[in-house]
Amino acid sequence: MIRVNENYLKLQTSYLFSEIAQRVADFQTARPDMEIIKLGIGDVTRALPRACIDAFHRAVDEMADDTTFRGYGPDQGYPFLLEKIARQDFQARGADITEDEIIVSDGAKCDSGNIQELFATDIKIAIPDPVYPVYLDTNVMAGRTGSFIEGRYEGILYLEGSRENGFIPDLPPEPVDLIYLCFPNNPTGVTITKPRLQAWVDFAHEHNALILYDAAYEAFIRDDTLPKSIYEVEGAREVAIEFRSFSKTAGFTGTRCAYTVIPKTCMAFTRNGDRQSLHDMWLRRQTTKFNSVSYPVQRAAEAVYSEEGRAQSQALIDGYMTNADHIRAELAALGYECIGGENSPYIWVDSRTESWKFFDLLLEEAGVVCTPGAGFGRCGEGYVRISAFNSFENVQKAMQRIKKVL
């Protein structure tokens, strides 16, 4: 008899963003006259930078000629891309990361979801609440939790975010083995300073723990005193893995390119206490289950690092941040308390009511989609996340409509 992985039965019925998409589709069927503005899922809306498109086209043409055609690429990614990532994203900011410590992939979602395969099933995991659901759900699927009771999975140590701690969780009150952190944060949009990040790295050293650091939104950091990478903090090379993505940085959500950094000095342990290189284990996993990213896409990603590519990507980010500024200003004028949105494309709004109720109000009365905070965990109840990914015209229109219904 073929049997299922019963851990899947512990999951909530559907992935948060699928559930929202379904509710929006149902509403649109019922109200075809209503033009809907989506400020829900963090999906980019602006075209790829011209430099990326040009590089993409050139690479596609190379694939059309036997003499320049490429088949399978190198396991870790093409050296032309790895070298630029290492130099511009890390070394230029004083982070000691070399190109052989970077592994290219098709998404930070896949990597941050798949990485848990490297760890034992009986480790103690600390996960923020509210949280990007992928970290939690993938551990549920792998059997690292008990049942879902009163909005919480048994066996997980939840790192609670609240108005009081500014949604930056305190250090765990007890030793843990694996810690998920995301800054700028999804969903709250908050950022972390170097000293506070240092405290997490020190904690990981003290307990032989590992930090999984999701930096997918680093490009939105405008305050240059804030760390863009955990490797800007002392000692992180031994205790942290970092996830990065071109999705939000340069509009690659539909094009797919990302990378994971695992320093050669980053170790985990066997039951007997022997040190194992996580870099080697991840590479072993990826070479078994993945064939890297297509050549044209890696060429398009490489173009992000050219002079024009950098300027054009920055213009995209600046555009989204103008939206974020507008959303914050309008909500503040209405008396709503906002967190995030200063160095992040997400604005976390105290909705002063149940978050799904607020979601329904905005959808049904204003035709605007947001993301209910409760979907990110128990501590997200009472909040909604508004995303700045849309055109300025649509954001202005959305805010005008929201003003009328609040």
Positions in the binding site for ligand MLT (CB under 6 A): 41-43, 109, 132, 186
Helix (H) or strand (E) holding 108: helix 108-114
Q: Closest CB to ligand MLT among 185 and 198? A: 185
Nearer to ligand MLT, 245 or 298 (CB): 245
Q: What is the smallest separation between the CB atom of 41 and ligand MLT, expressed in angstroms?
A: 4
Q: Between 49 and 133, name the residue whose CB sits nearer to ligand MLT.
A: 133
Question: Which residue lies nearer to ligand MLT by CB, 245 or 351?
Answer: 245
Closest to 247 (Cα-Cα) out of 223, 221, 215? 215
Residue number with CB closer to ligand MLT (108 or 204): 108
* CA 162 to chain CA mean position, Å: 20
Place of tokens 């909530």: 12
Do 36 and 391 contact (CB within 8 A), yes or no? no
Taking the complex as a whole, the smallest distance from the CB of residue 132 to ligand MLT amounts, in Å, to 6
Counts of helices then strands in the chain (DSSP H, E)? 13, 17
Q: Which is nearer to ligand MLT, 237 or 385 (CB)?
A: 385
Residues 6+ apart with CB under 8 A from 392: 319, 322, 323, 326
Which C-beta is closer to ligand MLT: that of 119 or that of 217? Answer: 217
Q: State the minimum distance, in angstroms, from the CB of residue 11 to ligand MLT.
A: 17
CB of 79 to ligand MLT, least distance (A): 27
CB-nearest residue to ligand MLT: 42
Sheet of 125-129, strand order = 102-105, 258-261, 240-245, 210-214, 178-182, 125-129, 156-160
Contacts 24+ apart (CB under 8 A), 61-65: 62/295, 63/295, 63/296
Q: Decide whether 109 or 237 has the Cβ nearer to ligand MLT.
A: 109
Alpha carbons 132 and 396: distance in angstroms, whole number: 27
DSSP letters of 325-351?
HHHHHHHHHTT--EEE-SSSSEEEEE-
CB of 378 to ligand MLT, least distance (A): 18
Task: Tell me the closest approach of the beta carbon of residue 64 to ligand MLT, in angstroms.
Answer: 32
Sign of CA dihedral 61, 64, 69, 75: positive
The smaller minimum CB distance to ligand MLT, of residues 43 and 325, is found at: 43
Q: Compute the least distance from the CB of residue 151 to ligand MLT, in Å.
A: 19
Please state, in angstroms and rounded to a whole number, the distance separating the CA atoms of residues 298 and 295: 5
CB of 179 to ligand MLT, least distance (A): 20
Q: What's the min distance (Å) between Cβ of 43 and ligand MLT?
A: 6
Strand-by-strand arrangement of the 338-340 sheet: 338-340, 346-350, 383-387, 371-372
Task: Read off φ and ψ for residue 372, nearest 5 degrees.
Answer: -70, 130
